[in-house]
Amino acid sequence: MAGHNKWSKIKRLKGALDAKRGKVFSRLAKEITVATKLGGSDPGANVRLRSAILSARTQNMPNDNIDRAIKRGSGESGETTLEEVMYEGYASDGVALLIEAATDNRNRTAADVRLIFSKHDGHLGGAGSVAYLFQRKGEITVPEEAANADHLLEIVLEAGADDLASEAEHPHIITTAPDHLATVAEALRAASLPITSQKLIFVPQTLVTIQQEGTASKILRLHDALEDNEDVLNVYSNFDLPNGVLERLSETNHS
Protein backbone atom coordinates (compact mmCIF):
# COMPACT_ATOMS: atom_id res chain seq x y z
CA MET A 1 0.00 0.00 0.00
CA ALA A 2 2.97 2.32 -0.52
CA GLY A 3 1.02 4.22 -3.17
CA HIS A 4 -1.81 4.77 -0.72
CA ASN A 5 0.61 6.24 1.82
CA LYS A 6 2.03 8.53 -0.90
CA TRP A 7 -1.48 9.79 -1.59
CA SER A 8 -1.70 10.82 2.05
CA LYS A 9 1.38 13.00 1.47
CA ILE A 10 -0.22 14.51 -1.61
CA LYS A 11 -3.35 15.36 0.36
CA ARG A 12 -1.26 17.11 2.99
CA LEU A 13 0.60 19.04 0.29
CA LYS A 14 -2.49 20.38 -1.40
CA GLY A 15 -4.08 21.37 1.88
CA ALA A 16 -7.39 19.67 1.11
CA LEU A 17 -7.98 17.99 4.45
CA ASP A 18 -11.53 18.51 5.69
CA ALA A 19 -10.45 19.72 9.12
CA LYS A 20 -8.21 22.40 7.64
CA ARG A 21 -11.07 23.68 5.51
CA GLY A 22 -13.53 23.71 8.39
CA LYS A 23 -15.95 21.39 6.60
CA VAL A 24 -15.51 18.28 8.67
CA PHE A 25 -18.84 18.44 10.56
CA SER A 26 -20.84 19.17 7.41
CA ARG A 27 -19.37 16.23 5.53
CA LEU A 28 -19.64 13.87 8.46
CA ALA A 29 -23.31 14.83 8.91
CA LYS A 30 -24.01 14.12 5.24
CA GLU A 31 -22.30 10.74 5.46
CA ILE A 32 -24.38 9.83 8.54
CA THR A 33 -27.58 10.95 6.77
CA VAL A 34 -26.83 8.93 3.64
CA ALA A 35 -25.77 5.86 5.65
CA THR A 36 -29.01 6.04 7.63
CA LYS A 37 -31.13 6.38 4.52
CA LEU A 38 -29.48 3.39 2.83
CA GLY A 39 -29.17 1.03 5.80
CA GLY A 40 -31.47 2.17 8.58
CA SER A 41 -30.97 4.11 11.81
CA ASP A 42 -29.66 1.24 13.98
CA PRO A 43 -25.84 1.46 14.13
CA GLY A 44 -25.73 -2.12 15.40
CA ALA A 45 -27.21 -3.39 12.14
CA ASN A 46 -25.75 -0.77 9.81
CA VAL A 47 -21.96 -1.03 9.51
CA ARG A 48 -21.65 2.10 7.39
CA LEU A 49 -23.64 4.17 9.89
CA ARG A 50 -21.66 2.77 12.81
CA SER A 51 -18.39 3.73 11.12
CA ALA A 52 -19.72 7.19 10.25
CA ILE A 53 -20.78 7.83 13.85
CA LEU A 54 -17.42 6.66 15.18
CA SER A 55 -15.64 8.93 12.69
CA ALA A 56 -17.80 11.82 13.86
CA ARG A 57 -16.95 11.14 17.48
CA THR A 58 -13.21 10.99 16.79
CA GLN A 59 -13.61 14.54 15.40
CA ASN A 60 -15.54 15.62 18.52
CA MET A 61 -18.76 16.20 16.61
CA PRO A 62 -21.56 17.04 19.09
CA ASN A 63 -24.11 14.29 19.74
CA ASP A 64 -26.93 16.69 18.80
CA ASN A 65 -25.43 17.00 15.30
CA ILE A 66 -25.17 13.23 14.99
CA ASP A 67 -28.77 12.70 16.14
CA ARG A 68 -30.03 15.39 13.75
CA ALA A 69 -28.23 13.77 10.82
CA ILE A 70 -29.71 10.36 11.66
CA LYS A 71 -33.22 11.82 11.90
CA ARG A 72 -32.81 13.50 8.55
CA GLY A 73 -31.74 10.23 6.96
CA SER A 74 -34.61 8.30 8.52
CA GLY A 75 -37.16 10.95 7.52
CA GLU A 76 -38.07 11.79 11.12
CA SER A 77 -36.99 15.43 10.89
CA GLY A 78 -39.20 16.26 7.93
CA GLU A 79 -36.25 17.82 6.10
CA THR A 80 -35.59 17.03 2.46
CA THR A 81 -33.42 13.95 2.63
CA LEU A 82 -30.15 13.52 0.83
CA GLU A 83 -29.31 10.90 -1.76
CA GLU A 84 -25.92 9.50 -2.55
CA VAL A 85 -24.56 10.17 -6.03
CA MET A 86 -21.32 9.01 -7.65
CA TYR A 87 -19.60 10.90 -10.45
CA GLU A 88 -16.74 9.63 -12.58
CA GLY A 89 -14.37 11.54 -14.80
CA TYR A 90 -10.89 12.22 -16.07
CA ALA A 91 -8.29 14.89 -15.40
CA SER A 92 -5.19 15.63 -17.49
CA ASP A 93 -3.03 12.71 -18.68
CA GLY A 94 -5.90 10.24 -18.28
CA VAL A 95 -5.98 10.49 -14.49
CA ALA A 96 -9.22 8.98 -13.13
CA LEU A 97 -11.42 10.72 -10.56
CA LEU A 98 -14.19 9.15 -8.52
CA ILE A 99 -16.44 11.60 -6.66
CA GLU A 100 -18.85 10.76 -3.85
CA ALA A 101 -21.57 13.33 -3.26
CA ALA A 102 -24.73 13.70 -1.19
CA THR A 103 -27.38 16.00 -2.60
CA ASP A 104 -31.00 17.09 -2.37
CA ASN A 105 -30.92 18.18 -6.02
CA ARG A 106 -29.23 15.82 -8.48
CA ASN A 107 -29.56 18.20 -11.43
CA ARG A 108 -27.84 21.05 -9.60
CA THR A 109 -24.98 18.91 -8.36
CA ALA A 110 -24.41 17.24 -11.73
CA ALA A 111 -24.28 20.64 -13.45
CA ASP A 112 -21.84 21.98 -10.84
CA VAL A 113 -19.53 18.97 -11.13
CA ARG A 114 -19.58 19.09 -14.94
CA LEU A 115 -18.67 22.79 -14.87
CA ILE A 116 -15.77 22.19 -12.48
CA PHE A 117 -14.36 19.51 -14.78
CA SER A 118 -14.64 21.73 -17.85
CA LYS A 119 -12.94 24.67 -16.10
CA HIS A 120 -9.92 22.54 -15.22
CA ASP A 121 -9.30 20.70 -18.50
CA GLY A 122 -11.04 17.54 -17.34
CA HIS A 123 -14.21 15.84 -18.48
CA LEU A 124 -17.07 14.09 -16.75
CA GLY A 125 -17.56 10.48 -17.78
CA GLY A 126 -20.49 8.11 -17.69
CA ALA A 127 -21.36 5.58 -15.00
CA GLY A 128 -18.73 2.84 -14.90
CA SER A 129 -16.13 4.79 -16.86
CA VAL A 130 -13.55 4.79 -14.04
CA ALA A 131 -15.16 3.01 -11.08
CA TYR A 132 -13.59 -0.30 -12.12
CA LEU A 133 -10.15 1.23 -11.41
CA PHE A 134 -10.95 1.55 -7.68
CA GLN A 135 -11.70 -0.89 -4.88
CA ARG A 136 -13.82 -0.23 -1.79
CA LYS A 137 -11.80 -0.49 1.42
CA GLY A 138 -11.96 0.43 5.07
CA GLU A 139 -9.32 2.82 6.39
CA ILE A 140 -8.27 3.51 9.96
CA THR A 141 -5.54 5.93 11.03
CA VAL A 142 -3.67 5.72 14.33
CA PRO A 143 -1.19 8.38 15.54
CA GLU A 144 2.40 7.44 14.75
CA GLU A 145 3.52 7.89 18.35
CA ALA A 146 0.70 5.72 19.74
CA ALA A 147 2.15 2.33 18.85
CA ASN A 148 5.16 0.48 17.52
CA ALA A 149 4.49 -0.60 13.94
CA ASP A 150 5.27 -4.27 14.58
CA HIS A 151 2.99 -4.41 17.61
CA LEU A 152 0.23 -2.59 15.74
CA LEU A 153 0.57 -4.92 12.74
CA GLU A 154 0.15 -7.94 14.99
CA ILE A 155 -3.07 -6.53 16.49
CA VAL A 156 -4.71 -5.50 13.22
CA LEU A 157 -3.82 -8.61 11.24
CA GLU A 158 -5.22 -10.79 14.02
CA ALA A 159 -8.45 -8.74 13.80
CA GLY A 160 -8.70 -9.23 10.03
CA ALA A 161 -6.99 -6.16 8.51
CA ASP A 162 -5.49 -6.33 5.03
CA ASP A 163 -2.44 -4.12 5.46
CA LEU A 164 -0.62 -1.50 7.50
CA ALA A 165 1.40 1.41 6.08
CA SER A 166 3.74 3.05 8.58
CA GLU A 167 6.19 5.88 8.13
CA ALA A 168 8.08 8.06 10.59
CA GLU A 169 6.26 11.26 11.57
CA HIS A 170 3.07 10.21 9.77
CA PRO A 171 -0.01 8.35 11.03
CA HIS A 172 -0.22 4.60 10.72
CA ILE A 173 -2.71 3.77 7.94
CA ILE A 174 -4.59 0.49 8.31
CA THR A 175 -6.63 -0.90 5.43
CA THR A 176 -9.35 -3.50 5.71
CA ALA A 177 -12.10 -5.13 3.73
CA PRO A 178 -15.28 -3.03 4.14
CA ASP A 179 -16.95 -5.62 6.36
CA HIS A 180 -13.89 -5.86 8.64
CA LEU A 181 -13.60 -2.12 9.34
CA ALA A 182 -15.65 -2.11 12.54
CA THR A 183 -14.02 -5.31 13.87
CA VAL A 184 -10.49 -3.99 13.40
CA ALA A 185 -11.43 -0.65 14.96
CA GLU A 186 -12.92 -2.43 17.97
CA ALA A 187 -9.72 -4.47 18.37
CA LEU A 188 -7.68 -1.26 18.42
CA ARG A 189 -9.94 0.29 21.04
CA ALA A 190 -9.74 -2.90 23.11
CA ALA A 191 -5.95 -2.47 23.02
CA SER A 192 -6.42 1.15 24.24
CA LEU A 193 -5.02 2.56 20.99
CA PRO A 194 -6.39 5.92 19.79
CA ILE A 195 -8.08 6.17 16.40
CA THR A 196 -7.99 9.50 14.57
CA SER A 197 -10.03 8.41 11.55
CA GLN A 198 -12.25 5.46 10.60
CA LYS A 199 -14.05 5.39 7.28
CA LEU A 200 -14.87 3.61 4.05
CA ILE A 201 -12.82 4.78 1.09
CA PHE A 202 -11.98 3.88 -2.51
CA VAL A 203 -8.39 2.83 -3.25
CA PRO A 204 -6.96 2.96 -6.80
CA GLN A 205 -5.80 -0.39 -8.14
CA THR A 206 -3.25 1.14 -10.50
CA LEU A 207 -1.52 4.52 -10.39
CA VAL A 208 -0.77 7.04 -13.15
CA THR A 209 2.61 8.69 -12.53
CA ILE A 210 2.69 12.41 -13.30
CA GLN A 211 6.19 13.67 -14.13
CA GLN A 212 5.40 17.29 -15.07
CA GLU A 213 4.87 19.83 -12.30
CA GLY A 214 2.49 21.87 -14.47
CA THR A 215 0.27 18.86 -15.08
CA ALA A 216 0.41 17.91 -11.40
CA SER A 217 -0.65 21.43 -10.37
CA LYS A 218 -3.55 21.35 -12.83
CA ILE A 219 -4.79 18.02 -11.47
CA LEU A 220 -4.49 19.24 -7.88
CA ARG A 221 -6.50 22.38 -8.71
CA LEU A 222 -9.27 20.23 -10.20
CA HIS A 223 -9.19 18.01 -7.13
CA ASP A 224 -9.44 21.03 -4.82
CA ALA A 225 -12.26 22.62 -6.82
CA LEU A 226 -14.31 19.42 -6.60
CA GLU A 227 -13.72 19.13 -2.86
CA ASP A 228 -14.78 22.75 -2.41
CA ASN A 229 -18.26 21.96 -3.75
CA GLU A 230 -20.70 21.80 -0.84
CA ASP A 231 -22.35 18.59 -2.09
CA VAL A 232 -19.10 16.63 -2.52
CA LEU A 233 -18.15 14.25 0.27
CA ASN A 234 -14.97 12.67 -1.07
CA VAL A 235 -12.78 12.76 -4.16
CA TYR A 236 -10.57 9.79 -5.04
CA SER A 237 -7.93 9.70 -7.74
CA ASN A 238 -5.32 7.36 -9.18
CA PHE A 239 -2.45 9.75 -9.82
CA ASP A 240 0.97 9.46 -8.22
CA LEU A 241 3.71 12.08 -7.93
CA PRO A 242 7.39 11.07 -7.85
CA ASN A 243 9.18 12.31 -4.73
CA GLY A 244 11.07 14.95 -6.72
CA VAL A 245 7.88 16.46 -8.12
CA LEU A 246 6.23 16.26 -4.71
CA GLU A 247 9.14 18.10 -3.05
CA ARG A 248 9.26 20.85 -5.71
CA LEU A 249 5.52 21.41 -5.48
CA SER A 250 5.78 21.52 -1.70
CA GLU A 251 8.53 24.14 -1.93
CA THR A 252 6.40 26.20 -4.33
CA ASN A 253 3.37 25.81 -2.06
CA HIS A 254 5.28 27.19 0.92
CA SER A 255 7.25 29.91 -0.85
pLDDT at 247 over 90: no
On whether the CB atoms of residues 52 and 24 are closer than 8 A, the answer is no
| Residue 17 pLDDT level (bands cut at 50, 70, 90) | very low
DSSP state of 82: P
Question: What is residue 57's predicted lDDT score, i.e. its pLDDT?
Answer: 87
Backbone angles phi, psi at 194, to 5 degrees: -75, 145
What average pLDDT does the structure give for the chain? 86
Domains of the chain: 134-204 (3.30.70.980)
For residue range 196-221, what is the model confidence (pLDDT) as tens digits?
A: 888 889 999 999 999 998 899 899 89
Pairs from 73-79 (Cβ < 8 Å, separation ≥ 24)? 73/32, 73/33, 73/34, 73/35, 73/36, 73/37, 73/41, 74/36, 74/37, 74/40, 74/41
If you average pLDDT over residues 93-120, what whole number do you get? 95
Q: What CA–CA distance (Å, rounded) separates 234 from 85?
A: 11
pTM: 0.80
Question: What is residue 153's predicted lDDT score, i.e. its pLDDT?
Answer: 93
Comparing CA positions, the residue from 55, 120, 53 lying closest to residue 89 is: 120
Q: What CA–CA distance (Å, rounded) separates 133 from 202?
A: 9
| Residue 132 pLDDT level (bands cut at 50, 70, 90) | very high
Percent over 70 (pLDDT), the chain: 89
Question: What is residue 18's predicted lDDT score, i.e. its pLDDT?
Answer: 46
CA distances from 196 to 145, 185, 213, 235 (A): 12, 11, 32, 20
